[in-house]
Amino acid sequence: MGMLPALLPEIRKEFGMTLVTGAALITTMYLVSNLAQVPIGHLRANKTKPLFLPMGMILAASMSLLVMLPRTESGEVWIFMLVVVSSLGTGLAHPEAFRAVHKLGGIAASTSTAVFMIGGMLGFGMGAWISTVLVSGWGMGGLLVLGPVSLGMVGMLFLLKIRLAVEEEQSENDTEKPERRTSFWPIWLMTIPTSIATTVILGLLPTRLEEIGFELEYGGFSNMLFISGAIVGTLFWAEVSRNRNKIGTSTVALILGIPFLLAHLIFIEHHWAAWILVPGGFCVMAAFPLLVTEARFALGLNLGGRMAMSAGGTWGAASVAFLLFGVMADQWGIEAVLKWMWMGYLASILIGLFIMRKNMLRNRN
């Protein structure tokens, strides 16, 4: 999934796409991959053997077939179809993968969730960078080397005899279940503005960097630096939150991250400014896994439903917003959109403060 935003400048050249069409392509990817998880998360809730996970891993690999699409008037239709198939694969795999992580014993909830999120972040970030390196060196055909990787992972899935957690096991085995559970929906609402801001930044930043004059690979590298910071930050903030309120910890992380994102916008025309994205991602992106951990134990829906809504529902809503911001960027420029994305993190901060205040009043009573 990390390939498409980073390769968007090159895809637009080869297929003659406008910025709005490119934004619609990324929106389609996010919508299908995330919204598909909402109904899928409720299916096979009591099954322990994975089915959607291997199916999804195979379908997701189809993104590497971009080179086979025709560069004709029908090319845009074909690329949308390919994105739908690949994104559906991600949507199939993600909920069962979440449950597989929850099956692991002897690992704290914040740690297991953080490691799972790190895997997704690492894949997204490395996909952005590696795909641009391959395309810069060998054209779109270079992406074909990525397909066999997914097939190898499917083999590992069966070799390791991966199993899925069910609701009863999750309730009995987890040692970090809070004494008083918060409603799922306020937590979910807190993730929405953060997800929108992150989606727009990662989706439009490579194109903005190409506008400034940087090479294609630099855009993918910048996205990878943002995600790399998030990976380290996820581990750090998970440890910080171990014996603390996760809503409060994520709120603090978001507050600390905003200045770095503003600094990157100020110095964006300098090559070294990409490294400012590392501490930015370290804070703002790492808040999301903490909220997912809190949602894991929240009141409302079942385990599969909560995990599907936390991942698919959240990023699906962000996908719709991304298309709107893509239209705005086409009208007023990408720079005009990116410079206001910090407001999304601010909105999540305010919601976090509201949740903490509400919980404080409830505990007093």
Q: What burial class does residue 150 get, using C-beta atoms within 10 Å of its C-beta: 0-12 exposed, 13-18 middle, 19+ buried?
A: buried
Residue 312 pLDDT: 67
Residue 265 pLDDT: 94
Tell me the C-alpha distance between 211 and 9, whole Å: 9
Other CB atoms within a 10 A radius of the CB of residue 364 amount to 6
Tell me the C-alpha distance between 284 and 65, whole Å: 33
Residue 168 pLDDT: 57
pLDDT confidence bin for 194, thresholds 50/70/90 = very high
Residue 345 pLDDT: 96
Q: Does pLDDT of 38 surpass 80? A: no
Residue 109 pLDDT: 62
Q: Does pLDDT of 344 surpass 90? A: yes
| pTM for the model | 0.75
Contact indicator for 63, 4 with CB cutoff of 8 Å = yes
What is the maximal distance between C-alpha atoms in the chain? Answer: 67
- Report residue 334 CA to chain centroid gap: 21
- Report residue 322 CA to chain centroid gap: 13
What's the pLDDT tens digit per position in 245-276? 889 999 999 999 999 999 999 999 999 999 99
Residue 102 pLDDT: 72
| Mean per-residue pLDDT over the chain, rounded | 85
Residues with Cβ within 8 Å of 164's Cβ and at least 6 positions away in sequence, in order, are 44, 47, 48, 49, 50, 96, 99, 100, 103
Residue 181 pLDDT: 65
Q: What is the DSSP track for 160-212?
A: TT-----HHHHHHH-S---SSPPBHHHHHHHHHHHHHHHHHHHHHHHHHHHHH
Contact indicator for 209, 222 with CB cutoff of 8 Å = yes
Greatest mean pLDDT among 88-97, 281-290, 341-350 lies in 341-350
In order of start, what are the domains of the chain with their CATH numbers? 3-364 (1.20.1250.20)
Q: Does pLDDT of 170 surpass 70? A: no
The packing angle between helices 277-284 and 184-212, to 10°, is: 170
Tokens 């270079």 correspond to 142
Tell me the C-alpha distance between 97 and 100, whole Å: 5
pLDDT confidence bin for 304, thresholds 50/70/90 = low
Q: What burial class does residue 14 get, using C-beta atoms within 10 Å of its C-beta: 0-12 exposed, 13-18 middle, 19+ buried?
A: middle
Token pair of 331 as six digits: 């009208």
DSSP state, 64?
Answer: G
Other CB atoms within a 10 A radius of the CB of residue 179 amount to 5
Tell me the C-alpha distance between 76 and 98, whole Å: 33
